[in-house]
Amino acid sequence: MPSYRTHITVLQQVASEHPSLPAFQVPQYDVQTGQILNWHPISYSRFFADVELFARYWTAILSSKGVPPRSVVGIWVGGMTYVDVLHIYAMVRAGYIPQLFSLRLPNPDVIFELLAKSNGQALIFDSSFGAVEPQSIPTYMAVDVRAEEDVFDVALPPIAEGEDGDAILMIFHTSGSTSGRPKLVPCSYRWWDMCLTKGAQCTAPRNPARQDVTAWMGSVCHIGQTFMYAGHLQHAACMVQPSAQAFPSSELIEMIARCGLNRLNQFPTYLAIHLRNSRQDPKLLAMLQGLDLIFYSGLMLSQEDEEWVHRNGIRIVNCFGNTECTAMLLSDPEWKGMHAPLVPMQGTSYGFFPLATTSDSESGHQNANNRLLELVILSDSNDCPDRSLRAADGHYHTGDLFLEVAPGRYVSRGRDDDWIKSENSLRCDTKAIEDNVRATCADLIEDCIVVGNGRPSPALFIEAKPGLKEEKVKKDIVRRTRQFHSRRYLHERISSTNFIIVVPSDTLPRTASKGNIRRRAVEESFKAELDRIYGVATQ
């Protein structure tokens, strides 16, 4: 009978083999200024002992309220501290099923609704959120048990690998909402065992003779950081706790100098800050060049940043993943030059299926739809998500689109919803337009997004760089992108300044976790403006 690893079985093994190695480096703050003074290490043996302590605490608390093992218990914490990790790991160690929530859920009502969907029996929440009104299930503050004077002499179950691959180990949530709330993402033992295998691939050390040191990329209440740390855990790496997800370049320099950080895992929105600063800071550039690897995910690097890292020999790896599947594709390490294509991770079973094709009715015009492939996680792949998330054919359709640029090598063309449909249901590749604007107008814009679902043609929203005149920005964009649009179908073109809207910096709505501009939210927020524009333009 097969058995399935968990992060607890891995932790027990690593703590036994490397008890004195630092598992975490936790910041010490100046109480007056709030600045980080230094980081202090927490060994693997201490980490394992703390997980055991927290597990005994929660076993005593929950069992006293009649909440038996294998019950779902909600954990609503920020997910950016060592103590947050202890609560989450301890819940699995104690035999419960943690359902993880982050700060970005709006209020307890949504959380209790999601707990009801999973038959959750309790909620643990961070004290910084304030009081949570009593509900039909017990609620508890996520206290630091290390400060508790009581010794919780409670027997814990033996640590063992899972025997039922279909049993649920953890529950996450999609990063987007449907009907006002996220969807549940149940994670089975079989699925998580495969994710541990993929995580080990993503975090394999370049130099096995030394310990890798990296930093949080996000909240452990989200699959990205949970997955990445579980990968690093298998290599007995050290995780440095930063002051915030978007920590400044000065703090990165300190983590490299004081903590020995040699790998960086970040979303491109935050990585771009360091790359931009390195253009004026030779010391920072040298430190980025000295890193073993920069691992990024969630978005593509801008053309400007891609050129900068390539020209300066900064080692980067692009990972394509999502909440439901974790990492799926990694950039080809053997690719020479920029824009390395993506290849499926080892041991997976994926399909790249063509979309419905259309005919080229306009000679000489591009029709990329004929080459677009949707990434599908096949049902026989051990990282295929829970059956509740699969399509009627039994597979998981990601909605992510690719072009195959070489056999088995792919370039992302955005999500399926990046291909908006015009008013007559013709498709428009918004990502291609945005990429072209970023490549040709980097000196004019800070960011951009293309919208226009159900409209005659697309519109472009621009967050312009400070100090530039609006009308000149619009005219320059039209002029610089004219050649690109001249070979596109009429319904795909932006050839008039009427369809370019300039807004101040940081105006467009973004996701909280990665900083991506939310296309549909832009369309909703600026609906009146878009109605006016299309009304004028079509008269």
The predicted structure's pLDDT at residue 177: 53
The predicted structure's pLDDT at residue 357: 46
The predicted structure's pLDDT at residue 176: 60
Do 4 and 190 touch, CB atoms closer than 8 A?
Answer: yes
**CA-closest candidate to residue 54, choices 139, 172, 152:** 152
- Going 390 to 395 to 396 to 401, the CA torsion angle's sign is negative
**CA-closest candidate to residue 441, choices 478, 477, 482, 483:** 477
* Distance separating alpha carbons of residues 146 and 320, to the nearest angstrom: 38
Name the one residue in this structure whose structure tokens are 């294998």. Answer: 70
The predicted structure's pLDDT at residue 105: 65
CA count, 13 A, side-chain hemisphere, 180: 5
Three-state DSSP state, 333: coil
Tell me the residue length of the chain: 539
* Distance separating alpha carbons of residues 533 and 539, to the nearest angstrom: 10
The tens place of each residue's pLDDT in the chain, 539 residues long, gives 789 999 999 999 999 999 999 999 999 999 888 899 999 999 999 999 999 999 999 999 999 999 999 999 999 999 999 999 999 999 999 999 999 997 666 667 888 999 999 999 999 999 887 777 777 899 999 999 998 767 778 999 999 999 999 999 999 998 665 554 678 999 999 999 999 999 999 999 999 899 999 999 999 999 999 999 999 999 999 999 999 998 999 999 999 999 999 999 999 888 999 999 999 999 999 999 999 999 999 878 888 999 999 999 999 999 999 989 999 999 987 787 888 999 999 999 999 999 754 444 444 445 555 588 999 999 999 999 999 999 999 999 998 999 999 999 999 987 776 778 777 657 788 988 999 999 999 999 999 999 998 888 999 999 999 999 999 999 999 999 998 888 777 788 998 999 999 999 999 998 877 788 989 899 999 999 999 999 854 43
Residues whose CB is less than 8 angstroms from the CB of residue 49 and which lie 6 or more positions away in sequence, other chains included: none
Beta strands in 44-114 (DSSP E): 72-76, 97-101
The predicted structure's pLDDT at residue 361: 41
